[in-house]
Structure 1
Amino acid sequence: MASGENKVKTSTLPPGTAPIKAEFLLQRSSPQPLANPDDDAAERGAQSSGRGTGDRADPEPGTGGKKSWKNKSKAEKRAQRGQNTGRRFGKVRDELELCWRVANGAACDLGTECRFSHDIDAYLAAKPQDLRIPYVSEFSESLPFGPDLSAVSKPHLRHPNVDTATQCPIFAEVGECRYGYKCRFLGGHVQEGSEDETKKAHAALTGHEMNFIGAENQKRLRAKRYPLPIATQYLRDIEPKPTKSAPPVVFDASRLDEPGYTPEVPTGEAKMEVDETLEKRTGDQNLEAAEDTPDVPVRFSEKKRLNWKGKTYLAPLTTVGNLPFRRLCVKLGADITCGEMGLAPSFLAGSREEWSLVRRHPSETMFGVQVAGNKPNVLVPTAEVLAKEFPNTIDFVDLNCGCPIDLVFKAGSGSALMDAAGKLGRIVVGMQKALGEIPLTVKMRTGVKDGKNNAHKLMPRVATEWGASAMTIHGRTRQQRYTRLADWDYIKQCVEAVKVKEEEEDLAPIPIFGGGDAFSSQDYWGKVDHSGVDGVMIARGALIKPWVFTEVKERREWDISARERLDLIRDYVDFGLNHFGSDTTGVNATRRYLCEALSFQYRYVPIGLLETLPPKINERAPAFKGRNELETLLASPDSNDWVKISEMFLGPSPASWSFTPKHKSNAYNNEEGQG
């Protein structure tokens, strides 16, 4: 309980502030709420799995004489590309690196030519001591919170750094550890003498990740030798056919504004120029009967039906929405999951980083891959590769028509496709053909610019003319970002427009999910009832409190305790080590992504501290204390505290390792020392 002089009356706080009970509020120089985290900045600077695909940070006008973007040299532009260019997460390696073959008990074919050490004793002597992940029951709710992880409990062999009291999370799950002597939990399996065959047999069915593309096929993609007969034929079919008899038509776009000017209807490339020019000028208002888009309903009878009504859906999320986080959300009640957005050109280039985004855990019972691109000639081939490589382990492919990131939008991908209906139709139909039995879903926004919503016109066409198997609409325009609440009235209008079209065409309805601001069970079901959607795709709500899926499933608001939240963090660590690895590099990759997750989860205000329910996602929290010190720690906006929480499970972070939040408003105590 805060002392009398430290209390603040809730009624003195400005509108839009989380209604925290007076006894938990802390007095600062003024009762203003903490800065609202800038989700636009986080989205603009999103870096998917460290690929550096963030938005370019154009200099603000009048910034002390700094060069404008157009005046920078090519080298300067390359150096500045990506808002988060300062966020570098290099791999942390062992000081003495052991050969992977020797680490797993095999002989190295390279012998003395191998650049890694073959001396196991020397490696173990130089290697940091084994880690041990404590159970939450070992933690208290007050300082110092947890057990001392710096002491080795039971020295084994002649190496004091090996701890037989530890447990390797990979060995515990699958019955073997692929990291051998390099594992930071070596004492948990080095003494076993043999692998656990029972666990290995079980893991073959339930534990191992899926969707690995073979090295040979990656080479074929890079060399452009991967066979793509369906895409090749489709792209040939939609290629404009110039007419020999008709003279070429010159299209003068500059005369479109002249009164009474009516351009002749050209063909071939000239017609495509007309279409694309009009699309940009009208936002697709006048292209509903375009000749180069399907003019009859296209439904692919061989597609698997998606029965999603009543299911919960975790949105594809950059950086944080990796496989370990999805596993956590599945455990908490998420039924449908989708991998991070992948770029079609990078898939076709055989990028290892891009193909890692399609990785799936067996616990994901309904899993999709999201793809972004700007033309049929990259998206249709990508769809065909996905269908050929993973015909039975991808449940759907999602076409991203909603990404607002400048880097994606300016390339004509993401939400830019909403202003290019002719192109979008060719893409959807082509991807449907290339995917075979795999359903195609489409995710979009209400529109590109505020006041110019066009989703209500596009969605009926996507559903009935072009044959998508499901759709999601986020209730904001690309321009709006997160500056206002999602427009669920407009989502309702879009749902009704699709249903009317389906009835007119006598077509079976497809699932439609909405998105935007769902942060509680009451929020979720209220939005479903109001708009008529089949469910709500949850994004920020899941980032801030992954247990929102449990709330939705059980139709209750969960006053989760600090210890229960710590238990979920431990689960995430376990899942992270299984995915990223249990060696030094994997441990610190897990640490990095845990801190990324905590950069959102700290924003959760325990509902037991609120005067009114349900909580609202856009309410700002004033400075407050939790019901115990552990709850206060978990609510800290200081990025150094997120690192401390990671150290509670993963041991001290290396001296060479540091964590920088995506955007500084996420952490008041950053590297510049702002308090």
Structure 2
Amino acid sequence: MKIGNLELGNTPLFLAPMEDVTYKSFRWMCKKFGADVMYTEFVSSEALVRDIQKTREKMHLFEFDRPVAIQIYGHNIESMVRAAQVAEESQPDFIDINFGCPMKKIIRHGAGAAMLKDLPKMQQMAAEIVKAVSVPVTAKTRLGWTAADMPILEAAERLQDAGIQALAIHGRTREQLYAGEADWTLIGEVKNNPKIRIPIIGNGDINSGEKAKRFLDETGVDGLMIGRGAIGRPWLFREVKHYLSTGEEFPQPTVAEAVDVLKEQMFMNLEWKDNERSGILMMRRHFAKYFPGLPNFRELKIALLRAETNLEVDEILVKIVAQYGDQQLDFNQSSLK
């Protein structure tokens, strides 16, 4: 698979852009376990145009990231064009346009998945961004707005005509948010549309190697994108690659092994952030996902989520290892869709 002149190999695995998730330490862990392509957290075009420092910091890239994209979102074409030019200054390998975020704070202004209700504007925005930057431009979107309004086939053709060089599709509508099961049928229809020449990347519900292989076989997509399934489980990329190459499941880590991974991610956070408390608070979403299915774990989980210092976290992790260290984790849960 190629994006522009960027050669990514066969069936590359992409880490989906996620707000407050795909920052430096999490990207590092996912790369370590086999993710091929990174994305930053998505950034607001309006904030970039206004030169908001916190937003600019999200675009800070590292050599381990590469190949890496910066994803931008917004509803105003002029601001999006300028934001793409600002993003290009950070030297990403490509720029991605967010046409898929379903959250209210994004769509209420007409950005993200709301662009699916105005395909001509979506196409115009993509075309103007393509013309304004020298790096490849890609896009990420959903099947549609509701089950009765799923224009992904037309949207894909329009975006290709606009000049985007790859399209990632999440197999849900905006109305679904993240509920129910992802529908890969339409993703397959886009991929197998004879008019489509650009790479298609499938996204949604990849939480095991077996599922990844099944979705790949059913659709023939060029790449696979993993999002929420990797939170608290960055080794999911290793599992998927192992299954795709061998047809066998990679053993889940023990609790003690998972604690070592968590500590590495947390240590990088603490090195990266200005103060200890900020580094710990950013980890809470990950803490909540690291230890599924452990019996009588509620009190330790609550303590982990309330911890505000490295010392507190370390003390809790020592207790977790002492109580559960040799137990193998079980991620076969519907909540990981």
Q: Tell me the TM-score normalised to structure 1 length.
A: 0.44
**Shift in Å at residue 642 of structure 1?**
3.5
Write the mapping of 1:44-59 to structure 2, written as runs, cut at 5 A.
Answer: none
Deviations 1:533-561, CA, capped at 9 Å, x for gaps? 11221111111421101101222332210
Question: Residues 150 and 173 of structure 2 are in contact (CA less than 8 Å); yes or no, is this contact kept in structure 1?
Answer: yes
How far apart, in 1, do the equivalents of 2:177 and 2:97 lie?
A: 19
What secondary structure does 2:282 align onto? Answer: helix
Query: Which residue number in structure 2 is paired with residue 642 of structure 1?
Result: 305
**Shift in Å at residue 649 of structure 1?**
5.2
- Structure 2 residue 209 is the aligned partner of structure 1 residue 521: yes
Q: Tell me the TM-score normalised to structure 2 length.
A: 0.85
**Shift in Å at residue 646 of structure 1?**
5.3
Distance 1:646 1:439, change over 3 A: same
How far apart, in 2, do the equivalents of 1:468 and 1:515 lie?
A: 18
How far apart, in 1, do the equivalents of 2:8 and 2:30 lie?
A: 20
Matched letter for residue 559 of structure 1:
Q
2:13 is aligned, of 302, 312, 316, to 312
Distance 1:651 1:638, change over 3 A: closer
How far apart, in 2, do the equivalents of 1:403 and 1:360 lie?
A: 22
Matched letter for residue 153 of structure 2:
H
Instruction: Report the aligned-residue RMSD.
Output: 2.2
Distance 1:478 1:432, change over 3 A: same
Deviations 1:294-338, CA, capped at 9 Å, x for gaps? xxxxxxxx9534535321111011112211111111111111110
Question: Residues 304 and 313 of structure 2 are in contact (CA less than 8 Å); yes or no, is this contact kept in structure 1?
Answer: no
Distance 1:386 1:448, change over 3 A: same
Matched letter for residue 592 of structure 1:
L
Query: Which residue number in structure 1 is paired with residue 136 of structure 2?
Result: 439
How far apart, in 2, do the equivalents of 1:378 and 1:304 lie?
A: 27
What secondary structure does 2:168 align onto? Answer: strand
Query: Which residue number in structure 1 is paired with residue 32 of structure 2?
Result: 331
Question: Residues 417 and 424 of structure 1 are in contact (CA less than 8 Å); yes or no, is this contact kept in structure 2?
Answer: yes
Distance 1:557 1:601, change over 3 A: same
Question: Residues 595 and 646 of structure 1 are in contact (CA less than 8 Å); yes or no, is this contact kept in structure 2?
Answer: no
How far apart, in 2, do the equivalents of 1:572 and 1:305 lie?
A: 28
Query: Which residue number in structure 2 is paired with residue 60 of structure 1?
Result: none
- Structure 2 residue 174 is the aligned partner of structure 1 residue 481: no
Give % identity.
Answer: 25
Question: Residues 309 and 511 of structure 1 are in contact (CA less than 8 Å); yes or no, is this contact kept in structure 2?
Answer: no
What secondary structure does 2:38 align onto? Answer: strand
Q: Which runs of 5+ in 1 are unaligned?
A: 1-301, 503-508, 606-623, 626-631, 653-675
Query: Which residue number in structure 1 is paired with residue 124 of structure 2?
Result: 426
Query: Which residue number in structure 1 is paired with residue 320 of structure 2?
Result: none
How far apart, in 1, do the equivalents of 2:154 and 2:300 lie?
A: 42
Distance 1:340 1:636, change over 3 A: farther
Query: Which residue number in structure 2 is paired with residue 570 of structure 1?
Result: 263
How far apart, in 2, do the equivalents of 1:366 and 1:355 lie?
A: 19
- Structure 2 residue 286 is the aligned partner of structure 1 residue 597: yes
Matched letter for residue 448 of structure 1:
W
Deviations 1:608-643, CA, capped at 9 Å, x for gaps? xxxxxxxxxxxxxxxx52xxxxxx64x768422334
Paired residues in the alignment total 308
Distance 1:401 1:574, change over 3 A: same
Deviations 1:403-461, CA, capped at 9 Å, x for gaps? 1111211101001111111111211111111111x110100000011222110111022
**Shift in Å at residue 588 of structure 1?**
1.4
Query: Which residue number in structure 1 is paired with residue 227 of structure 2?
Result: 539
Distance 1:577 1:458, change over 3 A: same
Higher strand share: 2
Write the mapping of 1:183-202 to structure 2, written as runs, cut at 5 A.
Answer: none
Higher helix share: 2
Distance 1:421 1:579, change over 3 A: same
Distance 1:511 1:407, change over 3 A: same
- Structure 2 residue 118 is the aligned partner of structure 1 residue 417: no
Query: Which residue number in structure 2 is paired with residue 472 of structure 1?
Result: 168
**Shift in Å at residue 596 of structure 1?**
2.2
Deviations 1:509-551, CA, capped at 9 Å, x for gaps? 3221111111011111111111111122111111142110110
How far apart, in 1, do the equivalents of 2:289 and 2:233 lie?
A: 8
How far apart, in 2, do the equivalents of 1:418 and 1:486 lie?
A: 18
How far apart, in 1, do the equivalents of 2:5 and 2:82 lie?
A: 20
How far apart, in 1, do the equivalents of 2:69 and 2:55 lie?
A: 15
- Structure 2 residue 45 is the aligned partner of structure 1 residue 344: yes
**Shift in Å at residue 381 of structure 1?**
1.2
Q: Which runs of 5+ in 2 are unaligned?
A: 244-248, 317-337
